[in-house]
Structure 1
Amino acid sequence: MTFDAEEEGDAYARKLEALLEHGIIPTEFRGQDAPASLSDLVRRYEQEAHPSGKDQGALRAALKQWGDTPLRKINAAWVDERISAMKRVEKLAPASIRARIGALARATDWGMRKEILVMPDHPFRTLPDGYAQYSKSDTAAAGVKRQDIERDRRLEAGEYERILELIDGGVLARKQRPLTLEYPKAHRALFVLAVESAMRLSEMYTLSIDQVDLRKRTVFLDKTKNGDKRQVPLSSVALALLREHLPEREIPAEHPPDLVFPWWNGDASPKARAKTSDYLSKRFDDIFRQAGCVGLKFHDLRHEAVSRLFEKTTLAESQIMKISGHKTHRMMMRYANLRGSDLAAALW
C-alpha cells in the first residue's frame, strides 16, 4: 500500500493494528471480493440491494465527483470536505446535499452488513444535525445562501374550475398557431386524480389496470419514490373518475395495453421515466399558466391533496402518512396548523 506521507502510513498502521486486535479485518485485506473504491461498492450495492430510484440518482451524482476514492480514505475529514465543496463550489441546496450523503450512508450500511466493508467511525452517520445548512462562512465563500424551500402553494378559489375548463377545451394558445391538446380526457383524469389521491406524478402515469381495484376503492403502488409499497384509498370523486376513464382510455399501439395513462412507454429505466415526468410537468406548467394559476406546479397538487385530507377527514396523522407515503413526522408538521381549531375544541 502507498500513502502520500509517512505520517499517514504510520497512522493507518496504528489503526490497522487496533482493528486486528479486536478481530476486525479491514475491507482492503478481505481478498479480491472486497470493493476497493467508492464506485466498486456502489456498483455492488445497486446490483444486489436494489436502492430506490431517488438514491440511484443521488449515487450517480456522487460517483461523478468521488467514484475513484479508495474506501480506506473515507473518514470524517473526507466527508466534511465533500460537504463543504457541495456548498462552496457546487452551491447545492441542503436537500440535494442530504440526498447524496444519505444515499452514501445507506450504501455503506449495506457494505458493512454484508461484511465487505469496515468503517468503525461511520463518518456518514456521525454528522451533526443541520450539517447540510449553510453557515456564515459557507455563504461568504459561495456567494449565495441556499436554503430548504418547502412549497406551500395551494389551489386558490376558481383555479380548479379554470384548469378543467382549459383542459376540456383541448386547445393551448401558441405564438404561431394553437396547440391541440392530445389526450385531453387523460389530462383531466391525471389532474383530478392528483388532487384527490396525493399520489406523485410518476406513481400515476405508470399505473396499470391491475393496480386499480374499483371494488375495494384502492390503488396499489408497488414501486414508489421511497421504495415502499402502499395502498391508496380512493375518494368518491376519484372512484367515479376512474370508472369513467378506464373503459374509454386511449393507449398508443406501441405502449403496453394495460396502462391507465397514455404517455409512458413502459420503459422502467430512470432516464425514460425522467423524460416522461419532464414532458408532463412542462405541459401542466403551460396549462396552469394559461389558466391564470400563477406559480402553480404539478407537484403542488400533492400538497393540496394532503392538506384536504387534514381539512376534510378525521384521519389520524399516521393514517394520512400511509396514504401519502411520507416517511417522517417532520414532513407532516407543515400541515399541523390545518387542524388548529380541532385542537382548541378538544381543550376544556
Structure 2
Amino acid sequence: MSRKKKFEINISSCSTALQLIAADILQRGFLNIRKPAQAATWLAVSQPCRRKTMISISKRINRNGETTWQATVRVVGAKSISRTFGDKAMAKEYGVDVEKNLLAQLPAPVSEPKTIEARETDFMSEELGTIVELFMKAKLVRKRKRHAGVAPTVIRNVGGAKVASICHSWVASYIDRMSQTISKQGRPFSYNSICSQLVLISLAVRWRAHSFDLEPPYFPPYSNLIPEGVDEPRDRRLEPHEERQLMHRLQSLPKAESQFWPLLVRLALETAARQQELVGAEWKEFTFDGKKAWWIIPAAHTKSKKLRKVPLGREAQRIVRELESLRDPQSQRLFHVFESAPFVSKLFAKHVRAAGIVGLRFHDLRHEAISRIVIRQRKMSIYTIMAMVGHSSLDMLNRYANLRGEELAEMVD
C-alpha cells in the first residue's frame, strides 16, 4: 500500500505559472485541503495572476560578457513579444507598456447570462419615462409619427412610475390626472390625447420586455375608463358674422399685430393649412410661375411627416404678396412676428374672447377652409382635395367638411 506524502508550499514564493497551476488543480478538486483557510489563501493569491497576458524579465549575458535584460510579454493564443535592453528598468517599463496596450485590445470578458428571475427584477424596476425615451430612440422600432408629439408629454408626466406600477388603478389614476393637466394649448388634455399617451406607454413596455427576452406584462384595458360622450369630433365652423367680428378685432390691434394677424387668418382660410404649417412657413417653400403659384410644405412641418403641395388661388397669392411687403431680411419665415404655434394658439383664444366669440379655436379655421374648398372648387376631384389638405382617408375629409344645409341646397342644379 502506497503512502501519500505530505508537503507544504509557500504559494507567495512560487512563480506566476506555478500559482496558476496550483489554483487550477485546487478548483478541479484534485487536492484535498484540510484547512479551508489555506485553500482560500491559495485562490486569493492566484486570482490576480489569472490574466491573459504575462510579463517576464530574463537576465542574459552575450558573447562579449555584457549583461542584457530581455522583456517578454506572452499573450494567450498569440505569439509572444520580446525585446532586449541594456538596462533592467527599461525592460520592465517596456513590458508594462506592451501589456497595457495588449490588454486594451482584448475583448471584454463574457458575463454569465442572467436568469429569468434576475431579468424580470431588472425589467419591473425600470421607470416608464426611461422606457419611453429608449423606445423613441431605438432605430429598429417601427413607430407611428404621432408618437413623436406624444412622447415628451408622457416622459414629463409619468413621474417615477415603474413597470411594476402598471395596474388597473394606476391607469385610472393616470387618466384622471391627465384630464386635469393643462396642455401647451392652455386647456386640459383631451381624452383622445390621453389614450394616445397610453398607447405609447403600452407599446414601449412591450418593446422593452422583448429586449429583456421576456413576455410582455399585462396592460389593463382603459376604454371603459373614458367617460361617454366626450371628445366627439368637432364640427365647429366660422359663421359669417363671427368672421366679421374677428377681423374687426384683429385689425384694431397695435400696428405689427394688426398687419400679421388678419393675414394669418385669411391664409388659413384660403389654404386649409394647419397652425404649425403656417407659423413655420418659409419663403423658400413658395413658388410663383406667372399666374400660377403653389406652396410646398416640407415633411418636417406637416402632421403626417409627408411633403404636401398646396396650390394657391388668387386670394392666397395676394396674401403672400402682401406678406412679402412686410418681409424681414433677417428671417426666413413669413410670420416672423410669431414665436411658435402654441404662442399663436394662446393669443388667438384671447382675441376670440375679446371679439365676443364663444368656443372657436384656431384649428376650427381648418374645418371652415376645407368646407369652403369642397363647396367652391367643384372642378377639383375628391382625391385632389385630400392631397391638398393632407388627408389620407375619405372618412377624415368627411369629418372636416361640415356643409350647412343651405350650402348643400346651392350645390344642387
Alignment of 1:57-96 (within 5 A): 58-66=150-158, 68-71=160-163, 73=164, 78=166, 80-88=168-176, 90-91=178-179, 93-96=190-193
What count of residue pairs does the alignment treat as equivalent? Answer: 278
Residue 44 of structure 1 and its aligned partner are, at CA, apart by 2.5
Question: 1:116 and 2:181 equivalent?
Answer: no
**% identical aligned pairs:** 24
Match of 1:148 in 2: 231
For the residues of structure 2 that align with 1:292 and 1:29, how far apart are their CA atoms? 60
Alignment of 1:178-193 (within 5 A): 180-193=254-267
Match of 2:32 in 1: none
Q: Which runs of 5+ in 1 are unaligned?
A: 1-24, 136-145, 173-179, 266-275
Match of 1:19 in 2: none
For the residues of structure 2 that align with 1:319 and 1:122, how far apart are their CA atoms? 45
Q: Is the 8 A contact 2:311 2:388 kept in 1?
A: yes
Q: Is the 8 A contact 1:249 1:261 kept in 2?
A: no
For the residues of structure 1 that align with 2:133 and 2:216, how far apart are their CA atoms? 23
Corresponding residue SS for 1:237: helix
For the residues of structure 2 that align with 1:214 and 1:285, how far apart are their CA atoms? 33
Question: 1:228 and 2:320 equivalent?
Answer: no
Match of 2:397 in 1: 332
Q: Which residue of the other structure, out of 361, 370, 374, is the alignment partner of 1:306?
A: 370
Residue 193 of structure 1 and its aligned partner are, at CA, apart by 0.8
For the residues of structure 2 that align with 1:226 and 1:107, how far apart are their CA atoms? 21
Change (3 A) 1:327 1:237: same
Q: Is the 8 A contact 1:284 1:297 kept in 2?
A: yes
For the residues of structure 2 that align with 1:79 and 1:48, how far apart are their CA atoms? 26
Corresponding residue SS for 2:310: strand
Change (3 A) 1:45 1:328: farther
TM-score (norm 1): 0.62
For the residues of structure 2 that align with 1:27 and 1:191, how far apart are their CA atoms? 59
Select the structure with the greater relative contact order (CA < 8 A; seq sep ≥ 6): 1
Change (3 A) 1:157 1:264: closer
Give the aligned residue type for 2:242: E
Residue 85 of structure 1 and its aligned partner are, at CA, apart by 1.9
Q: 1:183-235 deviations in whole A, cap 9, x for unaligned?
A: 43222221111111111212111111111223342232322234333222323
- CA RMSD, 1 decimal: 4.2
Runs (4 or more) in structure 1 with deviation over 6 Å come to 25-28, 50-53
Match of 2:196 in 1: 99
Corresponding residue SS for 1:217: strand
For the residues of structure 2 that align with 1:121 and 1:219, how far apart are their CA atoms? 43
For the residues of structure 2 that align with 1:80 and 1:107, how far apart are their CA atoms? 18
Question: 1:40 and 2:118 equivalent?
Answer: no
Change (3 A) 1:277 1:29: same
Q: Is the 8 A contact 2:295 2:309 kept in 1?
A: yes
Q: Is the 8 A contact 2:271 2:312 kept in 1?
A: yes
Corresponding residue SS for 2:278: helix
Q: 1:249-275 deviations in whole A, cap 9, x for unaligned?
A: 243x7xx5211112346xxxxxxxxxx
TM-score (norm 2): 0.54
Structure of greater Rg = 2
Give the aligned residue type for 2:147: D
Corresponding residue SS for 1:227: coil
Corresponding residue SS for 2:240: coil
Match of 1:322 in 2: 387
Give the aligned residue type for 2:312: L
Q: Which runs of 5+ in 2 are unaligned?
A: 1-114, 181-189
Q: Is the 8 A contact 2:267 2:316 kept in 1?
A: yes
